């Protein structure tokens, strides 16, 4: 009778270990989905920053052109052209930096999502191995007690 209790306890223990592995993998998958959502939001924010900065540049360029015209300076004047070119360079450098930063952040979030999924798969595999070990140990104890 005692040997049946040992066998049942081993089966229950193995089952609970497998369930724990499934739960760990599900939690890791949920975490990965959260990272992927953050990555998508980051891409949207990066695109918005890009558009906003170019809109700021366009508005500043129009204001500067109007100011130079009001001041009686010709837009084709070398110093005015140098000023406008420098403003364009600064704006496009800002956009490039923002895009690069957004890309790097998105890549990092994608990597974190992949790592979370891998962690979940490894937790499930570990739990399954532990369950098999528990079953093997239980079978050994059953045979030891039975004889």
The pLDDT tens digits of the residues spanning 6-15 come to 778 888 888 8
Residue 135 has pLDDT above 80, yes or no: yes
φ and ψ at 76, to 5 degrees?
Answer: -85, -5
Burial class (CB in 10 A: 0-12, 13-18, 19+), 17: buried
What is the per-residue pLDDT across 64-91, written as a single tens digit (0 to 9) for each?
A: 999 998 888 888 889 999 999 999 999 9
Over range 88-109, report the average pLDDT: 96
Distance CA 25, CA 90 (A): 47
Identify the CA nearest to 92 among candidates 56, 62, 64, 63: 56
Q: Are 106 and 39 in contact (CB under 8 A)?
A: yes
Cα-only R_g, the chain? 32
Over range 115-123, report the average pLDDT: 96
- Provide the strand spans (E) within 56-127: none
- The pTM score is 0.75
Identify the CA nearest to 109 among candidates 46, 19, 41: 41
Residue 3 tokens read as: 């040997």
DSSP, res 105: H
DSSP, res 74: -
Q: What is the largest CA-CA distance in the chain?
A: 109
Residue 2 has pLDDT above 70, yes or no: no
């Amino acid at each position: 009778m005692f040997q049946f209790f040992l066998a049942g306890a081993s089966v229950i223990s193995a089952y609970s270990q497998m369930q724990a592995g499934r739960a760990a993998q599900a939690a890791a998958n949920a975490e990965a989905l959260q990272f992927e959502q953050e990555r998508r939001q980051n891409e949207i924010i990066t695109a918005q920053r890009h558009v906003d900065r170019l809109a700021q540049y366009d508005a500043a360029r129009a204001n500067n052109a109007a100011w130079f015209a009001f001041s009686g300076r010709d837009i084709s004047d070398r110093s005015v052209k140098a000023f406008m070119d420098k403003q364009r360079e600064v704006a496009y450098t800002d956009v490039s930096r923002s895009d690069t930063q957004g890309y790097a952040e998105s890549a990092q979030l994608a990597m974190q999502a992949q790592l979370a999924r891998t962690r979940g798969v490894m937790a499930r595999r570990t739990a399954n191995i532990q369950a098999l070990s528990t079953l093997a140990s239980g079978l050994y104890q059953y045979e030891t007690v039975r004889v």
